[in-house]
Amino acid sequence: MLLTSYAMFFLATMPFLFARDRLIGIVYALLFIYSFFSFLGYIYMPGYSETLHAYFGDRVGELGIYFVFASMALLFVINMALYKGAVVNGNQITKGVGVVVAGNQNGPTILWLILILFTVLTAVNYENLSWYIAELDEVPIQISFYILLFKMSSGLIVFCYVVFRMKIGDRYRKFVAPTIIYTFVFIAAAVKLGNRTDLAALIIGIAYFECAIRKIRPRVVVISAVIVIIVMTLLTLLEMNRYADSVSQTTLSERIIKNDYFAPAHVMLGAIAFNFIDPGEVIRSNFANALVRMDYPFLQKPVMDLFAPGVASRTASYAFYVFTEGFIFMGFWGFIYNAIVITGFVKLWNLLGCTSDPLVNLLIRSVIATMAINVVRGQTCYFIKYLYMFTLPVLVVGVILIGVRLVPRQKVVTK
């Protein structure tokens, strides 16, 4: 009954939040997905949680739902309260830095060169690609460069997709062919890596754009539902590729439930079960992991060592559900931390997309949306780390591709 109430609350509040701010709406939806399926499996199929050594009894499951429910409710209330009448969908905010799309005749050529570089590096490293090398801090520099380019690719593909969909610039048609080829190479690399989140990030970025230019109507809801089904199917296929040796022994329900979104929230349940509260560790871990090559444990490690010792490392773990951080920081009062911190970071993201040109805003926020899934399944340092490591470099490359120029605000002509 409690889980049903949580699901009904989400379904009732999601349209209101999504209608006002597509970006926080996407984050809100991902926060639900990464908790609901964990709770569904934990309560009704506890054997799945037992395989993770993360079943702690019915009471812990109830407390977990209450904690996430409270976090989501306060997140909704705060964001609705902050709504001041301007729908923050990227294509409607025209206040901020003065910019103009001047065009770049060499833009398509630059994109082709990036595509060739990525394709060559993918071919050279293809046999060595696996999900174990996906963490930049744990691999040699030469592999780090490839992984960096791979993780930037989802944002760059989204950027180019928006360019030719919205006919931005005078050479937008020239972006179509390299973008399509780039997408296929990226998907091939993602499948070989067994990387689910960056492929999902690509789909989410495109979904953000398509929703941002439309009003919420039944057709949009249907399209969104289809996109969710596609994402879940792709995640399942990639999960099967990652664990090809054992997939034949799993049932269909197990493949659906025990997916990318199943394990992370179990770290939160473990923190609740062992009453693991350490605000100092939250601060230290976020500071160190907002940087690179600091080799400081992620927050899931000290928690997982309590119920699955030796399993968590920087390259392998159950991942991390971002609401867990609130509990580690403040215990059950952490729902306040969760709502305030996540709202603050998303508002920071939105500020980056406040320029005088609505189409540039749409480009920026569509790229930013690709970060959403990575921060939901990680700690809050990723709001910063993914921003400066992947998103800002993509935006720099993007503005070069289409020739965005800064201009004084008074010279900007609003069409």
For the chain, how many structural domains are there in total? 1
CA–CA distance from 272 to each of 94, 207, 377 (Å)?
Answer: 44, 34, 18
Per-residue pLDDT in tens (0 to 9) along the chain, 415 residues: 899 999 999 989 998 888 888 899 999 999 999 999 999 999 998 888 898 889 999 999 999 999 999 999 999 999 999 876 444 444 444 456 777 777 788 899 999 999 999 999 999 888 877 766 655 555 566 677 888 899 999 999 999 999 999 888 778 889 999 999 999 999 999 888 878 888 889 989 998 998 888 776 656 656 666 666 666 666 666 655 555 554 445 666 666 677 778 889 999 999 999 999 999 999 999 999 998 878 889 999 999 999 989 887 776 778 899 999 999 999 999 999 999 999 999 998 888 888 888 888 899 999 999 999 989 999 999 999 999 999 999 999 999 999 887 676 544 444 4
The amino acid at residue 384 is: I
141, two tokens = 């520099």
- Label residue 217 left, alpha or beta by phi (over 0 means left) and psi (-120 to 50 means alpha): beta
Instruction: Give the model's pLDDT for residue 321.
Output: 93
Q: Yes or no: say if 80 and 343 are a contact pair by the CB < 8 Å rule.
A: no
pTM score, two decimals?
A: 0.88
Catalogue the long-range contacts made by 136-141 (C-beta closer than 8 Å, 24 or more residues apart). Answer: 136/292, 136/293, 136/389, 137/292, 137/293, 137/294, 137/295, 137/314, 138/314, 138/315
- Radius of gyration, CA atoms only, the chain: 21
Domain holding 199, by residue range, is 1-415
- Report the C-alpha gap between 262 and 272 in whole angstroms: 17
Nearest Cα neighbor of 372 from 235, 214, 208 is: 208
Task: State the pLDDT at residue 227.
Answer: 66
